[in-house]
Amino acid sequence: MYSRASWIRFIIGLLLIALLVAGSLAAEEEMSKQILILASYNPGLRWTDSVGSEIENQLSIYYPTAEFSFEYMDTKKQAPTKARLAELLELYQNKYKNRHFDVIICSDDDAFQFLLSNRDKVFSGSPIVFCGVNFFEDKMLGGKKGFTGVVEAFDLPSTLSLMLKLHPKTKQIVMVNDRTTTGKANREVMNQTLPLFGKNVSFVIWDNMTVEELQRNASALSEGSLILLLNYNRDREGKVLTHEESAWLLRSSSPVPIYGTRDVYMGFGVLGGVITTGPVQGSLAADLALRILRGESADKVPVAKKLPNSYIFDMMELRRFNISRSDLPPKSIIVNQPFHSRADLSGKNLSGLDLSGTDLNQSELQGSDLRGTNLSRSFLMYATIFDAKLIGANLSGVFMPAVDLHGSDLSHADLRGAYLPINYLVYANLTGADLSGSFMDQTMMDNSTLVGSKLNGASLWAVKISYANLTGASLVKAFMDRATFQNSQLNGANLTGASLVGANLINANVSNADISGADISEARCGGANFSGSKLTKSILGFTNLTHTNLRMANLSGSYLVASNLDDSDLTKAILTDANLENAFMHRVRLVEAKLSGASLPGVRLDDSNLSNSDLENADLTGASLSSCNLTGASLNGARLLGADLSLAILEDAYMTRTNMVGAKMSWVDMVGSSLINCQFTRTELFGANLSNSDLTGSDFTRAYLVRANLSECTLKDVNLDYADLTGAKLGNAELSNARLKNVFLNDADLLGADLSGSYLSSMTLERTILHKANLRMASIISLNFLDTDFSGSDLKDARFFQTYMNNTNFSDADLSGAVFDTSALKNTDFRGANLSGATFGTSALENADFRGANLLGIKYDSIALNFFAVSKLDGAKMSADLKKDLEKLRSGKTT
């Protein structure tokens, strides 16, 4: 029996275990929180980054092990068209088809609208918290479950009131906006707000201008006008701008104050306003998401429609327009306090100083001496540093977008990991500089010098670097998509693994460079010089390489599908195992090029020169090689199925086991070629010149050889079944032991051809010339000879079985020992022929002419004898027995 105390201890133990298990399960639940942040725009955009960062920071406090996923729809750069949204839908469906999120937080209008339409298709059951949504109305959520969020209710009335208070003489306010999703929402807010101020001031809306038009119109404004920047991320021509760029664009052009409604514009030329901030949006959205993660239903969490806004002003702009801080609302926030940014340091001697981490944004450093200066991790955004001396300076990790560095000397400077987008570096000297890992997107570097510089792993997207000198530069794995290197020097450069998709290399000198493994697809390389360069396993699909010099370049294993190489020079180039499928290669020089094992289906090589090239085992299926020069080319084992070689020159070509099934080779010139054991089934060879070629063992089944020249050819063991040789020239051709079945030889010329021991079956030969041909011991079965010329031929011991002859000429032929079995001969000319020992069995000889023929020792039956009796036998040599039998037959005697 257990005591009561024992039972109590046992129960307490069970309770402790249950509590531990529950705690473990709760911890496990916390660890398993899956949170998706779906942003409308791109990373790097200050608004997007600040919203996302605030959400992640807030929720991480309560769920430190939560797993955050980020997706960016990039709608500022790529308009949210139906096609683009469908592409994103498919992407997210594939990516998250087996993934459930405990909450999804979306920022700004495009992401919100996307989830309204597609949440149940992609993230079924996941609650949604939105933020940054402009002009929100409750009806937007009609019929939708699981949605709540924070509206972006920027205070337009308060901003307009502030502007009029600080500038009481204002007559006109220009509203700068665009037609993006955000811009359209702004327009709705303007439609409700502007009429309230119409009595005091006039409004002009600029919402469909190009950058140039905006700058021009802004520069024309005068006193009495103000600008309110609402949104300008995409101009009328589709050019994409960041918030910072649009603000500074106006600031650099406008002589009048500029106001705004968002914190992302502050510090870039906007004077101030009643400002909505990204961190506030993110913080409020995180609060709502936290409630949902703790168990509340999203449908019971109300949408936050009233937000705290702040008065924020830029000190530099306040000074510019002589506005006193005393005139500002209480608790106003001031940015750009006068410490290091915007400093005027032009012409100063700052050499050797340690300025690492210093804020020098928008500072003036033109003409300054910064030799050996430490500026690592410093901030130099929008600074002017042209004509400055930065020799050997340390600029590693520097943040300096949109900086003017033209004409500056940065030779041997350390710029590793530097952030240098949209910089102006024309005529700059970067000799020996180290820019490895730097970010230089859209930088202008025309006429700059980068001899021996290092740009390994650098991002040079859309960089313009024409007429520059990059001799010996290292750009290993650099990202240079859409970059422009037109007329630049890249000879001896190392570009291994680099990405140059869509780049402009027109007339660039890239000779003796290492470009192996690089991606140059869709690039423009017309007139470029790649001679001697290594391009092994590079990607050049859909690339324009017209008029390009690729002499002795190594392109083995490279990908050149659908590229255009018209008029290019690839003399002695190595293209072994390269993929050139459907490439355009008209008038290309491939003299002595190595193309063994290359994939060339559908390639257009018309009028190209491939003389002495190596095409062994190459795949040229369906290729167009009309009028090509293939003299001396090696095509052993090549596949030419359905290829077009019309009018091609293949003199002295060497092919073994080459497959040309169905190829088009009309008028091709293959004089003196070696074509052993090749496949010509169904090949078109109309008018082709194959004279003096060795065709031993080749298969011409059903080939089209009309009017082809096969004279002096060696055709031993050739299969010509059903081939069409109408009008072909086979003079002195070697066809001994050939098998000719159902071959079309009408009007063919076999003068002096060697057909000894051949087998001819099931054919009609009309007007065929076999004059002086050698048909010794030939088997001629089931043939029709119409107007055929065997004159002077050697038909010794030949056998004619079931043949029909009309107007056939055997004059002066050697038919000794020949056999005519079950044959019909009409109007046949045997004058002067040698028929000694011949056999005529069951054969008809209507109107035969044996004048002067040698009929000694012939064998005949009664049927043949009757025909001999009515034939022309003047001057024929006959045995006594034949004469006797003829006399008996003519006299009517039967015994």
Q: Note the pLDDT tens digit of each residue in 619-671.
A: 999 999 999 999 889 989 999 899 998 888 888 888 888 889 999 888 888 88
Which whole-number Å values give the CA distances from 51 to 101, 111, 590, 729, 806, in the listed order?
19, 13, 58, 84, 99
d(CA 261, CA 127): 30
Q: Is the pLDDT of residue 8 over 70?
A: no
Residues 434-441 have a mean pLDDT of: 97
d(CA 784, CA 845): 15
Q: Is the pLDDT of residue 277 over 90?
A: no
Confidence bin at 322 (pLDDT 50/70/90) = confident
d(CA 392, CA 388): 12
Q: What is the pTM of this model?
A: 0.57
Q: Note the pLDDT tens digit of each residue in 358-382.
A: 788 999 999 999 999 989 989 999 9
d(CA 503, CA 468): 15
Dig out the tokens for 659 from the structure: 């497959």
Residues 521-535 have a mean pLDDT of: 97
pLDDT at 23: 47
d(CA 867, CA 856): 17
Q: Is the pLDDT of residue 433 over 70?
A: yes
Confidence bin at 853 (pLDDT 50/70/90) = very high
Domains and CATH numbers, the chain: 32-153 (3.40.50.2300), 157-275+311-334 (3.40.50.2300), 340-450 (2.160.20.80)
Q: Note the pLDDT tens digit of each residue in 583-594.
A: 999 999 999 999
Q: Give which of 166, 136, 177, 146 is closest to 307, Cα–Cα.
A: 136
d(CA 690, CA 170): 92
Q: Is the pLDDT of residue 793 over 90?
A: yes
Residues 773-792 have a mean pLDDT of: 96
Angle at 227 between CA 226 and CA 233, to 5 degrees: 175
3-state helix, strand, coil in the chain (%, to 5): 20, 25, 60
DSSP per-residue codes, 638-694: -B-TT-B-TT-B-TT-EEES-B-TT-B-TT-B-TT-EEET-B-TT-B-TT-B-TT-B
pLDDT at 278: 82
Average pLDDT, the chain: 91
The enclosing H or E element of 150 equals strand 147-151
| 127-131, 161-165, 263-267, 504-508: least confident range | 263-267
Q: Note the pLDDT tens digit of each residue in 173-201.
A: 999 999 988 888 889 889 999 999 988 89
Residue 407 and residue 387 in contact, taking contact as beta carbons nearer than 8 Å: yes
Helix (H/G/I), strand (E/B), else coil: 227:
strand
**Which residues, in sequence order, are CB contacts of 601 under 8 Å at separation 6+?**
581, 582, 619, 620, 621, 622, 623
Q: Give which of 416, 408, 491 is closest to 456, Cα–Cα.
A: 416
Q: Note the pLDDT tens digit of each residue in 447-475.
A: 999 999 999 999 999 999 999 999 999 99
The enclosing H or E element of 780 equals strand 779-786
Angle at 395 between CA 392 and CA 397, to 5 degrees: 150
Give 125 or 570, the one with higher predicted confidence.
570
| 83-92, 272-281, 389-398, 428-437: least confident range | 272-281
Dig out the tokens for 847 from the structure: 């109107």
pLDDT at 337: 60
pLDDT at 2: 43
Confidence bin at 895 (pLDDT 50/70/90) = low
d(CA 580, CA 596): 12
Residues 485-499 have a mean pLDDT of: 97
Q: Is the pLDDT of residue 340 over 90?
A: no
Q: Note the pLDDT tens digit of each residue in 36-63.
A: 999 998 998 888 898 999 999 999 989 9
pLDDT at 13: 52
d(CA 628, CA 70): 56
Q: Left if phi > 0, otherwise alpha if psi is -120 to 50, otherwise beta: which for 806?
A: beta
Q: What percent of the chain has pLDDT over 90?
A: 74
Q: Is the pLDDT of residue 597 over 90?
A: yes
pLDDT at 353: 75
Residue 606 and residue 628 in contact, taking contact as beta carbons nearer than 8 Å: yes
DSSP label of 820: E
Which whole-number Å values give the CA distances from 306 to 134, 330, 456, in the listed order?
12, 21, 50
d(CA 875, CA 743): 37
d(CA 147, CA 133): 13
Q: Is the pLDDT of residue 894 over 70?
A: no
Q: What percent of the chain has pLDDT over 70?
A: 96
The enclosing H or E element of 740 equals strand 739-741
Residue 314 and residue 320 in contact, taking contact as beta carbons nearer than 8 Å: no
pLDDT at 25: 41
pLDDT at 339: 38
DSSP label of 419: B
Which whole-number Å values give the CA distances from 305 to 130, 335, 471, 562, in the listed order?
12, 27, 60, 55
The residue assigned the tokens 């729809």 is: 73
d(CA 261, CA 232): 12
**Which residues, in sequence order, are CB contacts of 324 under 8 Å at separation 6+?**
318
pLDDT at 18: 45
d(CA 411, CA 433): 5
Which whole-number Å values give the CA distances from 651 to 190, 629, 694, in the listed order?
79, 8, 12
pLDDT at 198: 81
pLDDT at 17: 45
pLDDT at 333: 85
Residues 542-547 have a mean pLDDT of: 97
pLDDT at 454: 98
Q: Is the pLDDT of residue 257 over 70?
A: yes
